[in-house]
């Protein structure tokens, strides 16, 4: 047997040994898993609509012209009826939703600051913040509560744009964008 034949025989022996004791020389791939079906998104629109119906009844009225707080009589009454409702609603808040507190003004004055006038947007935000702080004071401190000022953009009484009923704070459950 010449050297070439000995090398071929050795290589053949090594290959047979590898196959016999080590398994295949090719990589075995795991079969690809099919993606798991995703759970259907729960429709919470009816639930949110019911929550918003309750919240509409909790609107805060009684802000004076250019005022960012309400009288103590109105405040005490509002706290008594609203705090339990807010606690309950926040426990039932669907994932991906927040409680939006929105301050409003009447149509008197500019929306944006002009000279010494702070503007309706800033005033309405102060009103919303006042109520936000009141809720925190009574143990309702949740990251799902946000506040903003709308100025006079959403008048309650469009026929009387300067009426006191437009100076208010409203609440709504909305998607967290």
Q: What is the CATH number of the domain that holds 126?
A: 3.30.1330.60
Beta strands in 49-151 (DSSP E): 97-103, 145-149
Average pLDDT over residues 46-66: 89
Query: For residue 2, is pLDDT > 70?
Result: yes
N- to C-terminal Cα distance for the chain? 82
Residues 6+ away with beta carbon under 8 Å from 115: none
Of the pLDDT bands very low, low, confident and very high (cuts 50, 70, 90), residue 5 is confident
Provide the whole-model pTM: 0.73
Mean pLDDT of the chain: 84
> How far from 146 is each of 76, 93, 107, CA to CA, in Å?
22, 14, 24
29 lies in a domain?
no
Among 21-30, 110-119, 137-146, the minimum mean pLDDT is found in 21-30
Query: For residue 50, is pLDDT > 90?
Result: yes
pLDDT digits (tens, 9 = 90+) for 68-124: 888 777 788 888 889 999 999 999 999 999 999 999 999 998 999 888 888 999 999
Average pLDDT over residues 136-161: 92
79 lies in a domain?
yes
Query: For residue 39, is pLDDT > 50?
Result: no
3 lies in a domain?
no
**Domain range for 143:** 45-175
34 lies in a domain?
no
30 lies in a domain?
no
Q: Torsions phi, psi of 126, nearest 5?
A: -65, -40
At residue 127, the pLDDT reads: 94
> What is the Cα–Cα distance from 153 to 49, expressed in whole angstroms?
22
**The total number of structural domains that make up the chain:** 1
Query: For residue 40, is pLDDT > 50?
Result: no
At residue 26, the pLDDT reads: 54
Cα 20 from chain centre: 62
92 lies in a domain?
yes
The residue whose two tokens read 């006191």 is 164
147 lies in a domain?
yes
95 lies in a domain?
yes
């Amino acid at each position: 047997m010449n050297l070439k034949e000995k090398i071929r025989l050795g290589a053949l022996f090594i290959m047979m040994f590898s196959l016999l004791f080590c398994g295949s020389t090719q990589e075995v791939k795991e079969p690809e898993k099919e993606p798991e079906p995703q759970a259907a998104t729960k429709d919470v629109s009816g639930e949110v609509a019911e929550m918003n119906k309750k919240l509409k009844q909790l609107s805060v009225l009684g802000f004076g012209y250019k005022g960012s707080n309400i009288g103590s009589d109105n405040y005490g009454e509002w706290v008594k009826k609203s705090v339990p409702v807010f606690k309950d609603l926040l426990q039932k808040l669907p994932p991906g939703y927040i409680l939006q507190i929105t301050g409003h003004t009447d149509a008197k004055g500019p929306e944006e600051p002009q000279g010494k006038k702070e503007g309706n947007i800033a005033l309405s935000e102060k009103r919303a913040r006042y109520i936000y702080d009141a809720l925190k004071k009574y143990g309702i401190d949740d990251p799902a509560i946000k506040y903003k000022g709308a100025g006079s953009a959403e008048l309650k009484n469009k026929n009387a744009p300067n009426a006191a009923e437009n100076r208010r704070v409203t609440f709504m459950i909305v998607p967290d964008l």
